[in-house]
Amino acid sequence: MSVEQLVHAFPRPRRPPVDAGWVRAETDRVLADFLREQAERASDRCLPTLVAVITDFLDGGKRLRPIFCHWGWVAGGGAPGASAVLHAGAGLELFHTFALIHDDVMDCSALRRGKPTVHEVLATRFRDDTDAEAAHRFGMNAAILLGDLCLAWADDLLQSVAAERGRSPRVQPLLHEMRTEVMVGQYLDLGGEHTDSPLDRSWRAIGCKTAGYTVEKPLQLGAALAGADEDLLSWCSAYGRPLGEAFQLRDDLLGAFGDVAVTGKPALDDFRDGKQTVLMGLTWERATPRQREVIRRRHGDPHLDEEGADELRTVIRETGAEASVRRLINDRAAEASLLLARPDLPDAAAEALAGLVGQVTRRTR
């Protein structure tokens, strides 16, 4: 029997269809290989332990950024499931990990994805378990370094893929813009800039911190790596911005009304921190004097209990802010969905991106 006959008689198993689950699994595989390599070639014996902390923290993520990067790549004419875009997606996930680690430090959050945050984990490694304050300080400082390490490794992965594809001139400005926007958005989220109203500042923070690096930039990076022209990159922005805003608006609702058993984050964190979300900005603008007094008393109270949180939730509902945010989410989902009628968009990309609209706007965690 000839080689050709053997191939037809015993065909190679078909690769499973490329969908969000497949991209998520392959991203995890690339990340595991990359982190294992970093541990094996470590310059100091402390690094494998730190890699283990990062690996554990990565477990349970939604991998939305690698998924959007993948479908941006396909939209730009790239082959589904290609190694280059999977490595770029892994780089984006490490960038997201850096952002989350630092965000948890700045918010002093205790939980992420239902597990202790990185600074809490690292605090337990402090040499003196009798000095709680020093252990906490060590955990915070070490987490900042670990976040920086994830940022550096993210850059290594993304830059190397761009160089190998000969796309550095197209990719570099997108990476620069993404990094800068996240830093600016985090600054606004912390309460920087008091020249605008809290609501205006919240919208600006969403645009920089979340909308850009969750949907828009991953899409654009994938498309740019595949060789897309400026017209398609603009389309990625037009689709990605409203959907990224919807993602954050949904996050705001989950922060106020979500089930901690599902979200994996303490239900009262946003209220106790006095987080200036669009949801709370709308609530304040529409509140009566009596309702504003409740907000002043309860929003930002570090000792807030469930009874106090319920008072805030009642005000949010009574002002119509919750219903307005739900409408804003639906409007932005519709805006993104309409753009999927683009004639030259590959069917596989259009179908996947349509499904992602629902996943982003109806998520429970």
Domain 3-361: which CATH number of 1.20.1440.230, 3.40.50.300, 1.10.10.10, 1.10.600.10: 1.10.600.10
pLDDT 10s digits, 143-156: 999 999 999 999 99
* DSSP string of 128-164, one letter each residue: -TT-HHHHHHHHHHHHHHHHHHHHHHHHHHHHHHHHH
Is the alpha carbon torsion for 91, 94, 100, 103 positive or negative?
A: negative
Which amino acid is located at 6 in the chain? Answer: L
171-182 pLDDT per residue, tens? 999 999 999 999
**Site of tokens 């392959």:** 26
pLDDT tens across 228-274, in order? 999 999 999 999 999 999 999 999 999 999 888 777 777 788 899 89
- Apex 277 CA angle, 242 and 219, nearest 5: 30
Sign of torsion over alpha carbons 289, 292, 298, 301:
negative
**Confidence class for position 17, pLDDT limits 50, 70, 90:** low
Mean pLDDT across the chain, nearest whole number? 91
Question: At residue 12, does pLDDT exceed 80?
Answer: no
Question: Domain residues of the chain, as ranges?
Answer: 3-361
Structure tokens at 60: 């349970």
For residue 37, the one-letter residue type is: E
Q: How far is CA 282 from CA 38, 135, 325, 329, in A?
A: 46, 39, 9, 14
Measured CA to CA, the distance from residue 201 to residue 325 in angstroms comes to 16
Q: Among 78-92, 211-225, 230-244, 264-278, which is the least confidently predicted range?
A: 264-278
